[in-house]
Homo-oligomer: A and B are copies of this chain.
Amino acid sequence: MSLREKVIETVTRTHEAARAAATLSMSAKEDILRSVAAKLRDRRAYLQQENRKDLEGARAAGLSSAMLDRLTLSDKVIEQTAAGLEEIAAFPDPVGEVVRMWSRPNGMRVGRMRIPLGVIGIIYESRPNVTADAGALCLKAGNAVILRGGSEAINSNVAIVNLFKEALAENGTNGDVINLLPTTEREAILHMLQLEELIDLVIPRGGEELIRFVAANSRVPVIKHYKGVCHLYVDRAADLEMAVKLTVNAKAQRPGVCNALETLLVHRDVAAAFLPMAAERLTAAGVELRGCEQSRAIVASMKPATEEDWPAEYLDLILAVKVVTDMDEAIDHITRYGSLHTETIVTNDYAASQRFLKEVNSSSVIVNASTRMSDGYVYGLGAEIGISTTKIHSFGPMGVEDLTTTKFIVLGDGQIRE
């Protein structure tokens, strides 16, 4: 078989298993996920033995210690992954929920019922625990899943998928509900991305380069999340103590993630009072400030910001700072330079809060809380399959429910079209 035929063969089997996945009962899904969690713990020796093969290969290939770290299935990672699966098992099952139902003048009742998407493709990089997390989330939503992890993690990924297949077999369910692409060649991704009749949605998880590669080459719809250039706007009516606390948390609590703050916008009426306080706390937290001219007139120690700072996703302890005339200028700036990820306003002014909530159409719009709160766990969605910064299908953190769609159901008693 050619590479392309191998890919088609595996994806076809996965597609054929989608109906089995969709009709699994709530309790069967819970049982299977709990069983996989138990197997992750019980079969740790097997997992770590397979993982060692990957680590040896990665060391021989000269991968960085950070990469090796992400690749390692330590006792702690295995326990966390198992606990994560148990959490997903306990989460409400979205399938079958009738989101809404209404009556029509002819006596028909019409509703929208949540159903699985069908087959979801996940393309990701080195962490093998994504295999378990993503597989479990897709399965919980009643989907079949085709996984393509980094080639450096192939032995670990095969081992984890084997545990899923064992649990599925013990439950009497078709094991093709979860599959790995049968080859680690990068070209296999290209073949997979052409199979629009067999795969309903592709979710790439990884850096911007991977996501752009997938989006550029896919006939299958793709959930995209390129970057997070998040803003915090300190309104003239802000509680300045709160504004400082939220700014420091948003920037410094974990600067390397997509919901970390990148640009601080400050209303000119409060800039003189706010910026010195904020600068002191941010500097103490190790943050480098890059300010506009007006900001630097207040805090002289800031470096000058250039046009390149406004669209920058630093993912580091660096913060761009700009003084704005009013909320219009703040919203214009966010519209121009933002990435539709997360924006916060700090204010005690009712009208200002409502206007910001209405006019800023990023995936998360927050009043008086840190941008770091925009997260599936924090929002109570349960585990997150990813985050979408494009508006089709889903926008923002995606939990199990966002791996479903709705069909129309009609309950009639003989209605015809006149």
Contacts and interface: CB of A to CB of B under 8 A. Distances in A.
Given A246-B416, A373-B108, A200 B390 contact: yes
Nearest to A369: B412
Interface stretch (A66-74, A130-138, A304-312, A392-400): A392-400
A201 B392 contact: yes
Given A23-B358, A391-B200, A393-B392, A410 B374 contact: yes
B22 A364 contact: no
Contacts of A368: 411-415
Interface string A103-139: 0100010100101111000000000000000000000
A246 B414 contact: yes
A359 interface: yes
A80 to B, nearest CB: 18
Contacts of A395: 405-407
How many chain A residues sit at the interface, stated as a range, is: 35 or more
Contacts of A249: 416-417
B412 A366 contact: yes
A130 to B, nearest CB: 22
A235 to B, nearest CB: 14
A236 B141 CA distance: 32
A196 B122 CA distance: 22
Contacts of A201: 391-392
A34 to B, nearest CB: 24
Contacts of A216: 219
A245 interface: yes
A361 B141 CA distance: 14
